[in-house]
Amino acid sequence: VNSPMTYSYGNVAYDYGMTRVVGGAGAAEAAWPWIVSIQHPWVPGLGHMCGGSLISPDWVLTAAHCFDDVSNASLIYVVIGATRFTQPGPGAAVRNVKQVVVHQDYNPKDFSYDIALMQLDHPVQCSSYIQLACVAEPTLRVSELINCWIAGWGSTVARSAGTTPDLLQEAKVQLIDLQLCNSSDWYGGQIYTHQLCAGYPQGGIAACQGDSGGPLMCQDNNADHWWVIGVTSWANGCARAMQPAVYTSTKYFYDWIDYNMRVNAMKTSGPASQSSICSWHCSCTPSSLPQMDSSAAACPRDCTASSCRKRGLRKQQRAFLQGQVLIGQGAVSLQ
């Protein structure tokens, strides 16, 4: 069954099929400084509900299915810059959520278009603990990337529902050819072109990678910086051979992410506050940070780079890209 296994806790569906890094190890402090924990007070234990990636000072990229059973988005909060929940450290920050934008074509039955954005109530400041993720650009040759990892706070033991580790877990994974992943012995045609598969053909190690909504990350082949190429979406069971985790491809949704960050920021705060992919590293550039591990290297672009130009979108393109907005008191559609 191509859905994460869940159990209901109040108005939150807690997903234990996709909330673990199996076969991983504890991550070093600030190793993945863009990973966030999306939390809800009704989730048992430490409150961790989903993972996400900080992609601008006030926007988080995550999965749409994280909000399937959340009736009141105003109760959600986001922990940024922490590696260990019980000892978040001086670099950690907590933010409430201003709005949630879910892809307008998201289908909870097959987890197609499983992508969402969250706007924080206040921007965060970059530091050695908090950095911005690089979303895969449309020109990035994702299939050629080799050094790929996942990370999350999910249970480290398969079938251990509701047990969230204190320390962020990480594991190395392999990108799996989409045609192979979609073959009859694997997922048999259930995978869409806007999705990615990653894990191991034999299963067993990190087969249910990371938290739902958390990032699939690959290092650039020619530099130290990392790309977030996928958003953790679903898997068939856990640790099964030929049944790897499935991710929503960020490269495919680059324009959707950029457009909805800008448009929805203007709706809530006015034109002066609009965010976009192009402005990420102007407003949050780690120019004077102490020496960090290469995993924390910032994106290699700025606002003058040709790859950072704002794209002119035709009227019909804008209509196609507009997401559904959930705000404050639950699922309120602004469309």
Residue numbers annotated as active site: 65, 114, 212
End-to-end alpha carbon distance in the chain: 32
Instruction: Write the DSSP string, 79-94.
Output: EES-SBSS---TT-EE
Q: What's the Cα-to-Cα distance from 258 to each of 59, 117, 121, 279, 322, rounded to whole Å?
A: 11, 10, 19, 10, 11
Q: What's the Cα-to-Cα distance from 224 to each of 123, 234, 294, 297, rounded to whole Å?
A: 26, 29, 6, 6
Instruction: Please give the single-letter amino acid code of residue 134.
Output: C
Tell me the C-alpha distance between 25 and 215, whole Å. Answer: 16
Helix (DSSP H) and strand (DSSP E) numbers for the chain = 4, 17
Q: How many CB atoms lie within 10 A of CB 8?
A: 9
**Structural element, H or E, at residue 13:** strand 12-15
Tell me the C-alpha distance between 207 and 237, whole Å. Answer: 9
Burial class (CB in 10 A: 0-12, 13-18, 19+), 86: exposed
Instruction: For the chain, give the longest Cα–Cα distance.
Output: 52
Cα 157 off chain centre by:
22
Q: What's the Cα-to-Cα distance from 95 to each of 78, 80, 98, 135, rounded to whole Å?
A: 5, 8, 9, 21
